Structure 1
Amino acid sequence: MFAPRLALASLSGESDAEWAAACAHPAGGAFLGGIAIDEPTREAARSMVDRDREEFLPDDPVAFVDDQLTELDDTFLRAGMNVRTTSVEPLREVAAVCAAHDAMLEVNAHCRQDEMCAAGAGETLLRETDRLCEQVGAASDTGADVSVKVRAEVDGVHLPTLAKAVERAGADAIHVDAMDSRRVVRDVVDATDLFVVANNGVRTREDVFEYFSYGADAVSVGRPSRDPEQVRSTYAAVKEWFL
């Protein structure tokens, strides 16, 4: 999927090509976005901006994705695009662009902002497995490698079961925000053959080693991705694990 086994995780309104390029050497992958790509999610994003959230709201989301990935075509890392949508047609368009750049398409089933959930995107998809799998299948059919960003500790959601479902639908990877339940990574690893990216609280050598001891294939950093020195430190721990 990518190597080194360290990814930069998307930050709302911040994770663009410039952000990724700042850590393009020590990181192996970078998920840009998230970006709202259909009208319900774009309206939700506009409402979020009105209350001072940072969001990407280009006039043409598909062209924006193409432009951003083009900027990273010659970098060391493998790019991905984290997208939020309620419908599959825009998803197919963006996934096709990702495939053309050998980039990953990441379906966002993670965002818990009220406006995005009310629109039927983000975390809502964790409780609506059929819709989530429809999105995964539509993206996979374009030839793109598909990741699904998920969150632990959502009431009524059993992540290992969900992981099996998205794997059957065509997903290649699952990006797990473990919250305060890091051992859920082991449960997901045991349940599927997906490439498992562990996220949340990756700061120290001990954090990296813990996630890899649970069987994660890679780790990702969110807020620390703003600091190239922190990314280099995390990379050193990843490298040490695989020695």
Structure 2
Amino acid sequence: MFEPRVAIASLSGESNAEWATAASEFVGAAFLGGIALDGPTREAARQMTDREREEFLPGDPVAFVDDELAALDGSKSDDDTDPPLRAGFNVRSSSPEPIREVASVCADYDAILELNAHCRQDEMCAAGAGESLLRDTDRLCEQVEVAADECPDVSVKVRAELPGVDLPEVARRIADAGASAIHVDAMDSEPVIAEVADAANLFVIANNGVRDEATAREYLSYGADAVSVGRPSDDPVILARVREATEAWFSGEHSEEPNGEEVSL
């Protein structure tokens, strides 16, 4: 899906094309956004800005996605030995139909459309988006189906430790609905990555606390296909460490699991 298998993850109101370009030396993918697409989620975003949350609130969210992806198109130079940076866009919607148009835009740029079932802000959940979708898998799958009709690569951003939510079952359901990736904020439950990876044929991106070799390798040992860096996504020292660790893992150059047990090379 992308190489190197390190992504930077969206931070609302901060994750734009300029942010992604600054990290492109170290990562294979950048998830921009999140951006609210419909009336209820845009109103929720306005309420969130009233209490000093950073949010993108352009007049036309679809045009904003188009402009940001255009700015990233071909972001790596022709003589760069790495593949071009793969863009993704994290979106929030209370209903499936507004997703269709932005998914088509993502497809035009070979970008990943990422559905946000992760945001835990009260306003966004009350609007029927964010982690409220994890509690209503039928609605989440409806959004996945609409997105997958337009865009070849659909990811779903989720979080662990939500009471009553069976993430492996969510993974199976969204895979059946057409998703190709799941982006898991593991919170303090790193082993959940293994459960999700075993549950469905999805590209698993592990997130939360990825800072160095040890944290990257822990997630990869649980079966993650890639890792993503969130808050320190603008720190080149951290990004370089994570890229080096990830490339070593997939090249087979690592010598032991995070618990210290030797593994064959």
TM range (shorter): over 0.9
Partner of 1:161: 169
SS at match of 2:139: helix
* Per-residue Cα deviation, 1:57-116 (whole angstroms, up to 9, x for no partner): 000000000000001110231000000001122100000000000000000000000000
Identify the residue that residue 64 of structure 1 maps to in structure 2: 64
1:170-209 equivalence runs, <5 A: 170-209=178-217
Q: Deviations over 1:22-51 (max 9, x none)?
A: 011210001000000101000000000000
SS at the partner of 2:23? coil
How far did 1:205 drift?
0.5
- Residue 209 of structure 1: how far off its partner (Å): 0.7
Compare 71-80 and 127-136 and name the one that shifted more: 71-80
Per-residue CA deviation, residues 165-191 of structure 1 (Å, 9 max, x unaligned), is 000000000000000000000000111
**What residue is the counterpart of 2:232 in the other structure?**
224
Hey, what's the Cα distance between the residues in 2 that align with 1:88 and 1:210? 35
Q: Report the CA distance between 1:147 and its aligned residue.
A: 0.1
Is contact 1:41–1:86 with CA below 8 Å preserved after alignment?
Answer: yes
Question: 1:146 corresponds to which letter in structure 2?
Answer: V
Q: Which residue of 1 aligns with 2:258?
A: none
- 1:34 aligns to 2:42 (yes or no): no
Q: What is the aligned partner in structure 1 of residue 241 from structure 2?
A: 233
SS in 1 for 2:25: coil
More divergent stretch after superposition (219-228 vs 42-51): 219-228
User: What residue number does 1:7 align with?
Assistant: 7
CA drift of 1:228 comes to 2.0
- Contact preservation (8 Å) 1:72, 1:79: yes
Extract unaligned runs of 5+ from structure 2.
76-83, 252-265
1:219 maps to a residue whose letter is V
* Counterpart in the other structure of 2:25: 25
Shift of 1:234: 1.0
Partner of 1:48: 48
Secondary structure, in 3 states, of the residue corresponding to 1:201? coil
1:230 CA displacement:
1.5
Q: Provide the aligned length of Structure 1 versus Structure 2.
A: 243
Partner of 2:74: 74
Offset of residue 119 of structure 1 = 0.5
Q: Structure 1, residues 197-231: CA drift from partner, whole Å, max 9, x if none?
A: 00001012011111111010000000010212211
- Counterpart position of 1:133: 141
Q: Which amino acid aligns with 1:172?
A: S
Q: Is the 8 A contact 2:112 2:151 kept in 1?
A: no
* Aligned equivalents of 2:235, 2:220: Cα separation in 1: 22
- Residue 144 of structure 1 deviates from its aligned partner by 3.3
TM-score, normalised to structure 1, is: 0.99
3-state DSSP of counterpart to 1:80: strand
Amino acid in structure 2 at the alignment position of 1:9: A
Counterpart of 2:50, as a letter, is D
Q: Give 1:8's aligned amino acid.
A: I
User: In 2, Cα distance between the equivalents of 1:219 and 1:197?
Assistant: 5
Largest Rg, 1 or 2: 2
SS of residue in 1 equivalent to 2:150: coil
Q: Contact 1:98/1:144 (CA < 8 Å) preserved in 2?
A: no
Partner AA of 1:41 in structure 2? T
Contact 1:145 1:171 in 2 (8 A): yes
Matched AA of 1:4: P
Conservation of the 8 A alpha-carbon contact between 2:113 and 2:151 = no
Give the Cα separation in 1 of the matches to 2:18 and 2:87: 12
Give the aligned residue type for 1:5. Answer: R
How far apart are the structure 2 equivalents of 1:82 and 1:38? 14
User: For the residues of structure 2 that align with 1:95 and 1:228, how far apart are their CA atoms?
Assistant: 30
List alignment gaps of at least 5 residues for structure 1.
Answer: none
Q: Quick one: percent identity of the two aligned structures?
A: 67
Structure 2 letter corresponding to 1:133: C
- The normalised TM-score by structure 2 is 0.91
**What is the alpha-carbon root mean square deviation over aligned residues?**
0.7
